[in-house]
Amino acid sequence: MTGTGFVVLPDTAAADEARAVTPWAAPRVLSHASGRPWLVGRWSPGELRVATAGPVQVVVAGVCPVTATRLSELTARIRTVSDVDALAAALPGSCHVVASVGGQVRVQGSLTGLRRVFHTRIGEVDIAADRADVLAAMTGAGVDARALAVRVACGGLVPSPLADQPLWSGIAALAPDHCLVWDRERARALRWWHPPAPEQPLAAGADAVREALTSALNDRAPAEGRLSTDLSGGMDSTSLCFLAARNTPELLTFRWGEAEAGNDDAAFASRSIGALDRAEHLIVPPAELPPLFADPDTLMDTEEPYPFVRTAARTRHTARLLAGRGARRHLAGHGGDELFTPFPGYLHPLLRRRPMTALRHVRGYAALKRWPVLHTLASLVRPGDEAAWWQAQAEHLTDPPLRKRRPSLGWGLWPLRAPSWATATATDAAREALRQTAAQARPLSTDLGQHQSLVALRTSAPWYRLLARPFAEAGVQLDSPFFDDRVVETVLGVRVHEHAGPWRYKPLLADAMRGIVPESVLGRSTKGEFSEEASTGLRRNLPAILDLFTDSALAAHGLIDPGKLRTGLLSPQADNAMGIALEPLIGCELWLRAATRPTPAWRFDDVRTSSP
């Protein structure tokens, strides 16, 4: 496990107790102007950047391609912690921002949750960290049984904000649009960011997205080593490739070879390879890759369940291959689907503002995706609210799965349904959490389409935060520019219905990249298919998976019925639904085993790699 991370302490003598229990024997320390410890932890050289202007100090941690001069200019404008709003709104990339301003302290993560902040209380002082397990190690926190039950009963599809809850008792997560501000020993969460109004038309929005992505990729190469990038053949990764190649033409591209004849990724990737003639292209044949679901008993993370279990062995293999070729930063297209493929909730506000346009979209979906027209129209005229959506998930948690062709038109992303192996203990606890969320949740935007986009970003970005750690252990920083704050803001400012609909695939990104990316890729309407490969990997590694649950920690906690799980695994599979449900379950099983060992699974002093 990566041993890096940092703890944020207020500028007060009461923080000495917390400083004494940080989980590193010889940590790095940054101090307040007073000389008291401010940031304590372990990080790689260059991972944190510091700017000072008199009594004001600012740290940015993560990917932030800003010059030292510019950072110093922004820092010099700060007089109070409220002034950090302007600095955070001007920074490129995706990073943590920590400020110490004449005894006041402020910390925040990124808008998507790719950079997260957690907080708790030790003695008489509130403290924060970039990792929940760091705070758990400091407080001796145990497992939050209800939060774990939610993960088991709702699978890996729990959306934000319920998914944001750490699995450690007494540890809280800061919302991505909030900052944490200290008044001496006490900290309070304040909202500092609101989404822009989605008012830009498609043409102007495409120009803005082009400028935002071009700016984001202008200075993305690492200070040392090579820049590498995924080149799957899809529009997302291909766009990043061509943008990065403008400034780093000798970059290294990478892709997994396809094992399925129906997967046309290779055809589209080959068209791009021919245009990137100065780059080195690394394609790993399927026979040289670990099978999907290989080594299912390998612990990937101690902070929370790792979400990408089936590709975990491939991810470790990929990270080592890239490191062996000299790569130190790797660009990936994660976040592109969430940004450029809006969920259908945009039809609600569209029906009110432009009913004929909304009906045309519905007819298009009915013809091309076989949406049931009457059900869709009935849902559109009764949108409900966010509280009603969460309440419905509680009421219907153990109902049979809904028909696949019914669109997700509510305030969530998809209906939550418990798997057959979840016990009544798990589902009862999950229902309680869902109902509590219904009472507390507030929309992220008054526009339902924009709200769904934000929920999708905040649900998936923390997954890719965990995906970055196997790369970090190999010495490679995984970088996902589509999650950059300024890129996200730009896309959110575009009229949702103009870059949604059934007729074109990712029209906003396609129009933004016209003239940069080959036209053949921009016109692609398909997506790579890996379901047969996943099924083959599951069958091949089924004995190891069955063995993993023979003495299950989740079963010992009363959360799963191992007999029902075994029956489901040994039954014929009509589709890949079992594999999808199994990934978060394996992640929960491995995490719980590590979390309940007599000796903690994390050993923060044994690893010196960089952390996301």
pLDDT digits (tens, 9 = 90+) for 508-522: 999 999 999 999 888
Domains 5-191 and 202-339+466-532 share a fold: no
| Structural fold of domain 5-191 | Glutamine Phosphoribosylpyrophosphate, subunit 1, domain 1 (3.60.20)
CA–CA dist 589, 172 (Å, integer): 22
**CA neighbor of 5 nearest in space, from 37, 38, 40, 46:** 40
Tell me the pLDDT tens digit for each residue of 148-166.
999 999 988 899 999 999 9
Spatial separation of the C-alpha atoms in residues 550 and 284, rounded to whole Å: 34
Q: Which fold has domain 202-339+466-532?
A: Rossmann fold (3.40.50)
Q: Domain spans of the chain?
A: 5-191, 202-339+466-532, 345-453, 539-595
Least Cα distance to 343 among 365, 375, 374, 372 occurs for 365
pTM over 0.85: yes
The reported pLDDT for the residue numbered 263 is 65
Judge contact between 493 and 200, C-beta under 8 A: yes
Partners of residue 7 on adjacent β-strands? 40, 129
The region of weakest confidence among 111-115, 387-391, 582-586, 598-602 is 598-602
Query: Which of 160, 188, 158 lies closest to 176 in space, CA to CA?
Result: 160
- Residue 148: strand, helix, or coil: helix
Whether pLDDT at 611 is above 60: no
pLDDT at 531: 76
111 pLDDT above the threshold of 90 = yes
Close Cβ partners of 540 (under 8 Å, ≥ 6 residues apart) = 291, 293
Average pLDDT, rounded, for the chain: 92
Residue 101 is classified by DSSP as E
DSSP secondary-structure letter at 98? E
For 47-177, strand residue ranges (E) read 48-53, 56-63, 94-101, 104-108, 118-122, 125-129, 172-173
Tell me, what's the pLDDT at 1?
41
